[in-house]
Amino acid sequence: MLVILIGSFFLFLILGMPIAFVMGTSASLAFLYEGISPAVLAQRTFTATNSFALLAIPLFMLAGNLMERTDITKDLINFCDKLVGHIRGGLAHTTCLTGILMAAMCGSNNASASAIGSMMIPALRKEGYDTPFAVSLVAAAGNLGPIIPPSIIMIIYASATNLPIKDLFMSGVIPGILMGVGFMTYSYLHAKKLGMQTKPKAALGEIWQAFKKAFFALLTPVIILVGIATGVFTATESGAVAVLYCCIYGLVRKKLTLKDMVDSLYQAAISTLGPMIVICFASAFSYLLSYCNFADTAVGAIMSISSNKYIVMLLIIALIMLIGMFVEVTAACIMMIPMFTKLIAALSLNPLWFAIIVIIVFCIGAITPPVGITLYVSCGVANLPLRDAIKPIWPFVFIMLGVTLLIVFVPHVATLLPALLN
């Protein structure tokens, strides 16, 4: 059965079938071959989404749409520009800083990249940056969305492994900020290479005015992160809080109409549909992998190479990067969770340390060709063929990989904050 499951998976993937249907079709063929009741397939797909934790996905999707319609993103960009716009490559730094702040609001790389890209890519072009660099920068900045809490992929991972969502959220804060700083450092060097000129530093009065205008927008991530860290509300409830806050913000500022709310609900439903279908079929696919004892086989193969946890982690990183180049992040994560669980038990690894590493590497796959969904989103905003963004995206990939390796060898980078808050 495993041959049929894996073989049909790669066959349909090569043929260009959407990843959700690749897994659904492969799972169905394997179920039929093994003679397992179709009711089990239906049960696995239903129970995969019958989770309170996953309710956060549509809520954060809705919050992201509301943020875009209430000009929260615009206010954040203006404030970031006043803070770092005077540094060489100022507009690129503004993009990175906005990506960090947006990540702390909506939890989705694609939503962040779309919101930032629609405003920053034209501005970066006007400033003199070439379009491929602008697209790659926006994709990388948007890709901080699933790493800095709240994070949709972390919610999915935690719901499948019973890992505390709050701890997993907090473990992504320092790595996400380090990546943002890395992107800004590279942007500075790139701007210097291009001979970009600096502009005058904003006066304190201008910064204050921009801060006042963006104050309530900046309050959004503070409310979400502090609320989760202190246990005032759960990660799922934080999505509802973000939606409520955006609605109040938009109504008070008179930037949100009934039509905007209806449109936001519609777009959030459409945006949620894709991940939920992937979760459904990936769960059935993952069930069959477990049924075939794939996890034991895979862990045995890895352990036969080495039992050193650092070498094993390097092998896992290489494997995930390879899979991430071809399989969508959510699908790949759910598919491999049974193997991860066995590996953590076999090597007595810290599950939180392990989780943040694999989540970051999965996120790297979101900007890595040929499938890189977030890179596709950024290219779509700029009407740029994906092939033109392949070369300039690699420096950002290596920065994310560098931070990942730092976590591998210095675990406190990820585990310090959760430990302090417990």
pLDDT tens for the chain, 422 residues long, are 778 888 888 888 788 788 778 888 888 888 888 888 778 778 877 777 777 767 777 888 788 778 778 877 788 888 888 888 888 888 899 999 988 988 887 777 877 888 788 888 888 888 888 999 999 999 999 899 889 988 888 888 888 888 888 899 999 999 999 999 999 999 999 998 888 877 888 888 888 998 988 888 888 888 877 887 777 877 778 888 888 888 888 888 888 888 888 888 888 888 788 778 887 888 888 788 777 877 778 788 888 888 888 898 998 898 888 887 777 777 788 878 878 888 888 888 899 999 999 999 989 988 887 777 788 888 888 888 888 888 999 999 999 999 999 999 999 999 999 988 77
At 51, list the tokens: 């989770």
